[in-house]
Chain A
Amino acid sequence: MSKREYMLGNVAIARGIVEGGGQVISGYPGTPSSEIIGTLAAMQDRDFYVEWSVNEKVALEVAAGAAMTGVRSVVTMKHVGLNVAADPLMTLAYTGVKGSIVIIVADDPSCHSSQNEQDTRRYSQFSMIPCLDPVDPQEAKDMISYAFEFSNKFQMPVIFRPTTRISHGKSDVLLGPVNETKPIADFQKDLERWVMIPKNARIQHPHLLAIQRDMLAELEKSPWNSLEMHEGCKFGVIASGLASAYAKEALDNMGIDACFLKIGTYPIPEAKIRTMMDQVDTILVFEEMEPVVEEQVRIMAQQLSSPVEIIGKIQAPVPRIFELNVDVCADVLAEVLDLEKPDMPVDIGEDFEYEACRIDLPMRPPVMCPGCSHRGTFHAMKKAFGKNAIFPSDIGCYTLGIQSGTVDTTLCMGGSITVASGMYQAGETKPICCSIGDSTFFHTGMNGLLNAIYNKADITVTIVDNRTTAMTGHQPNPGMGRTATGEETSEVDLAALCRSLGAEFVKTVDPYDLERTEEVFKRAKSFKGTSVVITEQLCVIDAKRSGIRRKPFIIEADKCVGCKLCVDLGCPAIEFNLETKVASINAMCTGCAVCSHLCKFDAIMEVKK
């Protein structure tokens, strides 16, 4: 019996992996992809293997190895994670697989939670691995089973690309049957295929090129592309993935008659595009981010000597940046068809200028939680190193330390220690102290530390160890002694690991203890060479979940002189009354006590019960 359920897009994708008979699933957390593995790992009675890997390259290789044995595997990551995994990706296109592999890469147009807006469809073109692009959670789920079959048929990886609005959208989803047949792992030696030495690469590259036409023909028949031709209609719209839903709504709202092609696969369906080109005078292309479809349509028009006019984002008016939506599509349609533009407000919602205040509304940027230990770390760091020091940082909750003045650079995962080293090697004489989280350190920070020590960089490396991967939703990592599914495993000792990489100065402190933390930072600063300070304190959300309760603090109003030393910590639990010039602590206080160590007037104290 079929069943409808209300599901998060990522939960629907996880369901698709189960329905398709996925057997080995690996990945590294990254918004908006993280809930896929989270959902699978939380399932009872699993008949598949699921892991959080230490980074995306590792995860892709684990999934590749599994698929080489003949089973069905999946790897999940966010778009920038594919940069880390690009090395195995490019050559996996040559070797192919024996079972099947689906590479799930979630894109984030508008950078809701990301450092850039890169378009994974470019990797599909680059690697010549086909890509599927869903319009909604239902299609996202259904595409996974198709991707397993396609991958197995062509012995090729398949990229599956949801975007934020798919992964973090919700919808009613019709469940399908579960594929109960599971291939048995049985690796067959085949040197020409699995050993990519130059001689074999020279065989596999032509093979990869040769199968492109066959893969296109198969994708062309798939249900993911659909063409609606209207008799006599000279205006065509091509829209891909989610943009097809926006474009459709705008067309319906405005009552515009258009031939319509919805695209869900790459390479794009050439026969359907040719059918449209034969009838219409103008083709308008809607797609989020890069002009991938538009470029292909232009190439086709040139090859076919078609006189059709192609409008998209290469020469405006469709924006090349940020998400599309119905309003943007309506605006473009009005411009292209010379219709009256609807009068619409602009500039709504939130921008993240930390210091900016709109006249009517205060900004509400995301902040570190009340009681977050990073606040203590950053305060002590700034005091020990001084405002003029350079503070390269990394990617995690602690990037929010931008408000504490202790995040001067954020480039990519693991890019803190390395950027700090480069600055030192360039001859920078200001003190350099970088920060990186525990999970990010395991991801790609370790090799940066090894490199810094090996090349004698005189910098301080701070590992802010909150014992979890907090920003993406508290996924376990190798420092925690348990796996994705909660099984016990070996717990990596961070200090011992740093020493084994060659570090001679390694100190672990509790960042709630401001005095000691500051003192350790001062010693690290004066140490000649690469020093490591590990500030260890459980993430305040995890602490609460595990039942740790600390007494909250209050400020005695008559002792408060309004110096704002505590307010400057930026803790959401501390408020300042502009009229009375007195600070107070609200109900959000978790009792970390950091502010009480700062107060020079002993005005902050534990609530006595």
Chain B
Amino acid sequence: MSSEGISQFDLIIAGVGGQGTILASDIIGKAAVKENMSVRAAETHGMAQRGGSVVNHIRIGCELGSMIPLKGADVMLALEPSEALRYIDYLAEDGVVIVNTASIHPVTVSSGHCTYPKIDNIIAKLKESRKVIAFDATALASEAGHLQSMNVVMVGAISNYLPIPSETLLGSVKTLVPQKTVDINVKAFELGKFQL
């Protein structure tokens, strides 16, 4: 867990380049600053954005470095199931992982070089050591109106854990998403929030 005096809340966001992990971090980071909390975040840019594996760190109420120590995160938000497993060691043993069960196959799999594990096996593996909340956020995004709002569904889901009022997060969603998609994203946020 995040240690007292160093950070109030440590969050890991894992996913695939192009899924909107940076927007998800921004929504949370901006909302925390609005609530007068200090924030430190680290993001993956550049090379790894081309469909590669991506991990962001966000520390709320922290004035030190942005990198969360191993077994230090309170919650992990995983936008893709295999990426949850890849970075699970960042999550505290009593931490919670919220995971989207919709997978994205890397080229190594679609080209037949590697195999992708069964989703059930991934979830079971996560459950061996951590508390797991798993649901199909991509389907909820589609229900909200657009697949691309999956990241906001996930932010809605984690809103139940963050030390930030839900209204502030929703305000942050409204300012950061493209204006013509505000309604879809508000709905996506609500759908995620009520999953838990």
* 6 pairs, CB–CB < 8 Å, chain A vs chain B: A113-B47, A172-B32, A349-B55, A361-B82, A366-B48, A572-B107
User: What residue of chain B has the Cβ atom nearest to residue A368's Cβ?
Assistant: B50
User: B69: CB under 8 A from chain A?
Assistant: yes
Contact A165 B87 (CB under 8 A): no
Cα-based distance from A348 to B83 in the complex (angstroms): 11
Contact B6 A253 (CB under 8 A): yes
Cα-based distance from A362 to B83 in the complex (angstroms): 10
Cα-based distance from A169 to B59 in the complex (angstroms): 11
Using A6-B29, A345-B70 as known contacts, say yes or no to A361 and B108 having CB atoms under 8 A apart: no
Which one of A32, A245, A344, A365 lies within 8 Å of B64 (CB-CB)? A245
Which one of B3, B36, B87, B114 lies within 8 Å of A253 (CB-CB)? B3
Q: What 19 new A-B contacts, CB under 8 Å, besides A113-B48, A323-B67, A357-B115?
A: A6-B32, A31-B46, A31-B47, A113-B45, A168-B43, A170-B43, A172-B32, A172-B39, A253-B6, A325-B67, A326-B72, A344-B70, A345-B89, A354-B108, A360-B125, A361-B85, A363-B114, A366-B51, A570-B107
Q: Could you tell me the distance in whole angstroms from the C-beta of A364 to the nearest C-beta in chain B? A: 4
Contact B86 A365 (CB under 8 A): no
Residues of B within 8 A of A301 (CB): none
User: What residue of chain B has the Cβ atom nearest to residue A355's Cβ?
Assistant: B113
Cα-based distance from A248 to B40 in the complex (angstroms): 15
User: A86: CB under 8 A from chain B?
Assistant: no
8 A Cβ contacts from B74-93 to A: 82-83, 85-87, 89-90
Using A245-B65, A253-B6, A572-B110 as known contacts, say yes or no to A350 and B86 having CB atoms under 8 A apart: yes
Interface size for B (C-beta < 8 A) is: 59
User: B52: CB under 8 A from chain A?
Assistant: yes
Contact B113 A357 (CB under 8 A): yes
8 A Cβ contacts from B111-140 to A: 111-117, 125
User: B196: CB under 8 A from chain A?
Assistant: no
Which one of B108, B116, B117 lies within 8 Å of A365 (CB-CB)? B108
Contact B46 A112 (CB under 8 A): yes
Cα-based distance from A35 to B2 in the complex (angstroms): 31
Contact A170 B25 (CB under 8 A): yes
Using A168-B43, A253-B6, A326-B67 as known contacts, say yes or no to A572 and B48 having CB atoms under 8 A apart: no
Cα-based distance from A107 to B148 in the complex (angstroms): 33
Cα-based distance from A361 to B16 in the complex (angstroms): 14
Which one of B26, B48, B112 lies within 8 Å of A576 (CB-CB)? B112
Interface size for A (C-beta < 8 A) is: 60
Residues of B within 8 A of A171 (CB): 38-41, 66
Cα-based distance from A273 to B45 in the complex (angstroms): 37
Q: Could you tell me the distance in whole angstroms from the C-beta of B150 to the nearest C-beta in chain A? A: 13
Using A168-B45, A252-B5, A366-B52 as known contacts, say yes or no to A344 and B71 having CB atoms under 8 A apart: yes
Q: Could you tell me the distance in whole angstroms from the C-beta of A347 to the nearest C-beta in chain B? A: 9
Contact A4 B33 (CB under 8 A): yes
Contact B108 A357 (CB under 8 A): yes
User: B165: CB under 8 A from chain A?
Assistant: no
8 A Cβ contacts from A195-239 to B: none
Residues of B within 8 A of A362 (CB): 82, 105-106, 108-109, 114-116
Contact B50 A369 (CB under 8 A): yes
- List residues of B whose CB falls within 8 A of some A CB: 3, 5-6, 16-17, 25-26, 29-30, 32-33, 36-53, 55, 64-67, 69-72, 82-83, 85-87, 89-90, 105-117, 125
Cα-based distance from A327 to B70 in the complex (angstroms): 7
Closest 7 CB pairs of A and B: A113-B46, A245-B65, A366-B52, A362-B114, A31-B46, A366-B50, A357-B114
Residues of A within 8 A of B16 (CB): 364
Contact B46 A365 (CB under 8 A): no
Residues of B within 8 A of A246 (CB): 64-65, 67
Which one of A165, A172, A471 lies within 8 Å of B65 (CB-CB)? A165
8 A Cβ contacts from A24-44 to B: 31-32
Which one of B40, B44, B85, B115 lies within 8 Å of A136 (CB-CB)? B40
Residues of A within 8 A of B51 (CB): 364, 366-367, 369, 572
Residues of A within 8 A of B67 (CB): 165, 246, 323, 325-326
Contact B69 A165 (CB under 8 A): no
Cα-based distance from A46 to B110 in the complex (angstroms): 48
Q: Could you tell me the distance in whole angstroms from the C-beta of A1 to the nearest C-beta in chain B? A: 15
Cα-based distance from A16 to B25 in the complex (angstroms): 23
User: A58: CB under 8 A from chain B?
Assistant: no
Q: Could you tell me the distance in whole angstroms from the C-beta of B42 to the nearest C-beta in chain A? A: 5
Contact B47 A366 (CB under 8 A): yes
Residues of A within 8 A of B85 (CB): 360-361
Residues of A within 8 A of B66 (CB): 136, 165, 169-171
Using A168-B45, A246-B67, A349-B55 as known contacts, say yes or no to A367 and B33 having CB atoms under 8 A apart: no
Q: Could you tell me the distance in whole angstroms from the C-beta of A261 to the nearest C-beta in chain B? A: 16
Contact A363 B26 (CB under 8 A): no
User: A567: CB under 8 A from chain B?
Assistant: yes
Contact B111 A364 (CB under 8 A): no
Cα-based distance from A564 to B113 in the complex (angstroms): 12
Contact A365 B38 (CB under 8 A): no
Cα-based distance from A354 to B113 in the complex (angstroms): 9
Using A6-B33, A360-B85, A572-B110 as known contacts, say yes or no to A326 and B48 having CB atoms under 8 A apart: no
Contact A252 B6 (CB under 8 A): yes
Cα-based distance from A576 to B107 in the complex (angstroms): 10
Which one of A5, A323, A364, A576 lies within 8 Å of B106 (CB-CB)? A364
Q: Could you tell me the distance in whole angstroms from the C-beta of A430 to the nearest C-beta in chain B? A: 27
| Most interface-central of A112, A169, A330 (chain B CB within 10 A) | A169
Using A242-B65, A348-B89, A360-B85 as known contacts, say yes or no to A169 and B108 having CB atoms under 8 A apart: no
Q: Could you tell me the distance in whole angstroms from the C-beta of A473 to the nearest C-beta in chain B? A: 8
Q: Could you tell me the distance in whole angstroms from the C-beta of B57 to the nearest C-beta in chain A? A: 9
User: What residue of chain B has the Cβ atom nearest to residue A172's Cβ?
Assistant: B33
Which one of B36, B41, B69 lies within 8 Å of A249 (CB-CB)? B69
Contact A575 B105 (CB under 8 A): yes
A551-575 interface bits toward B, Cβ cutoff 8 Å, 1 = contact, 0 = none = 0000000000000100110111011
Q: Could you tell me the distance in whole angstroms from the C-beta of B167 to the nearest C-beta in chain A? A: 17
Contact B110 A574 (CB under 8 A): yes
Q: Could you tell me the distance in whole angstroms from the C-beta of B106 to the nearest C-beta in chain A? A: 4
User: A423: CB under 8 A from chain B?
Assistant: no
Residues of B within 8 A of A403 (CB): 107
User: A548: CB under 8 A from chain B?
Assistant: no
A382-424 interface bits toward B, Cβ cutoff 8 Å, 1 = contact, 0 = none = 0000000000000001001001000000000000000000000
Cα-based distance from A252 to B3 in the complex (angstroms): 10
User: A578: CB under 8 A from chain B?
Assistant: yes
User: What residue of chain B has the Cβ atom nearest to residue A352's Cβ?
Assistant: B52
Residues of A within 8 A of B117 (CB): 360-361
User: What residue of chain B has the Cβ atom nearest to residue A576's Cβ?
Assistant: B112
User: A472: CB under 8 A from chain B?
Assistant: yes
8 A Cβ contacts from A15-63 to B: 31-32
Cα-based distance from A400 to B83 in the complex (angstroms): 22
